[in-house]
Amino acid sequence: MALARPGGVLTFISSNKFFRAGYGKPLRAYLRGNTRLKTVIDFGDLPIFEATTYPCVLVAAARPPDDEATVQALNVNRVATLERLADAVQRDGWPQLQQSLRQDGWALQPPQVMALLEKLRGSGTPLGEYVNGRFYSGIKTGLNEAFAIDQPTRDQLIAEDTRNAEVIKPWLRGRDLKRWIVSWSHLYVIYIPWDFCIKKYPAIHRHLQRYKEPLMKRPEVREGRHPWYTMSRYAAEYADEFEKPKIVYPDIAKIPQFAYDASGAYGVNTMYILPTDELYLLGVLNSSVVEFFYSQISSAIRGDYLRFIAMYMKQVPIPDATPARRTAIKSLVRKLLDAHSGQTSEVSETSEVSIAQIAQWERELNALVYELYGLTEEEIAIVEGRLNHE
């Protein structure tokens, strides 16, 4: 903005990543408090340029805003709009209070959507507080081909020495995490922390010897931080949480895919866990309300995928509920878990009936969650009109 004279106007093209990314917070604060934003256009992941750039256009005046300053905002989701962009800004855009551009992330949305987001924020406890900040990532082995093994390899290692079963754990990948349940691929991980005594497990030592050369090349091994045969990051402070019932989810997905896992499975570092077995929380997280809210506050990547990382997850509001409401939601969640696991007699063997029954339970769950947030029919229409379902 130093290039503009006082009160002058500057137009520039940038990546939209600073809208919501943590590193963009200082820039968001500066633009919101020190410039008079006139126009902000977000092109999302439209292929405007050859490179993957997620472009946006900002027009700003070099003067502080007043309290009632508005910015003309527009989200562009069709390349054809570029042909008459100025007309589209006036026709399809909306005036948005500059003060509504929050320091923790910008959301360019019409007033009724912004009002709904603020209502949701005020209708519950932020998830970060609800789980006491316990957003845990999976394990970074440093070389999956060495530590991740299939069923025959696992069986062979245990046949050679039954003690090996102590350090061989069920293993989940990001792709194994579905909505409600996990789809385990019968993979395992050899769990070896930095203080592991490899001499007590000769069969595992022999297995890892086959991968010694690439394992030795890891930077932390070359620096002498841990032995070559151990994992790069083994979740030292919370590894025991993998053994317990928990909520798991992938780091990248189009819609929320929270699942319940009670198998004691460990997971790759593209998996996250919430160390709780609370089915009420699982039901709320898989609801349409949370899907809507999360899509508005998180940063999308190409293909309408979302990153389910702590800086966004911690903002999700979790509503309080009476014991009766909690019981009703938990009951529906149990039915959905059983249905997806194929363990319920209430779902017919024919896929048509199964899908119809599951859809009905999902509708009932959403209806209960709508009530918890106190949504009106108009607000429910906004939520359901903006879901990322194909």
pLDDT tens-digit readout, 331-361: 999 999 999 987 544 554 445 548 889 999 9
Quick one: 365 and 250 in the same domain?
A: no
CB contact at 8 A, 16 and 42: yes
- Predicted TM-score (pTM) of the model is 0.87
% of the chain with per-residue pLDDT over 70: 96
> Which of these three, 274, 295, 328, is where a domain ends?
274
Q: Which residue has the tokens 């991968």?
A: 211
State mean pLDDT over 75-81. 85
In whole angstroms, give the CA distance from residue 243 to residue 284: 24
In terms of phi and psi (left: phi > 0; alpha: psi -120 to 50; beta: otherwise), the region of 284 is: alpha
The pLDDT of residue 5 = 86
Q: How confident is the model at residue 77 (pLDDT cuts 50, 70, 90)?
A: confident
Quick one: which of 44, 63, 64, 62 has its CA closest to 54?
A: 44
**What are the two backbone dihedrals, phi and then psi, of residue 222, each rounded to the nearest 5 degrees?**
-60, -30
CB contact at 8 A, 288 and 366: yes
Flag whether pLDDT at 291 surpasses 50: yes
Quick one: 264 and 142 in the same domain?
A: yes
Domain containing residue 378? 287-385
State mean pLDDT over 182-192. 96
The pLDDT of residue 344 = 47
pLDDT in tens, 210-230: 999 999 999 999 999 999 999
Angle in degrees, 0-180, between the axes of helices 111-121 and 288-297, rounded to the nearest 10? 110
SS3 assignment, position 9:
strand
State mean pLDDT over 129-139. 97
Mode of pairing for the β-strands spanning 36-42 and 70-75: parallel
User: Which tokens sit at 215?
Assistant: 């394992």
Quick one: 148 and 266 in the same domain?
A: yes
Quick one: which of 15, 45, 9 has its CA closest to 106?
A: 15
State mean pLDDT over 116-144. 97
- 381 located within any domain: yes
At CA 150, angle to CA 170 and CA 157, rounded to 5?
Answer: 85
- 155 located within any domain: yes
Q: Average pLDDT of the chain?
A: 92
- 163 located within any domain: yes
Quick one: 309 and 377 in the same domain?
A: yes
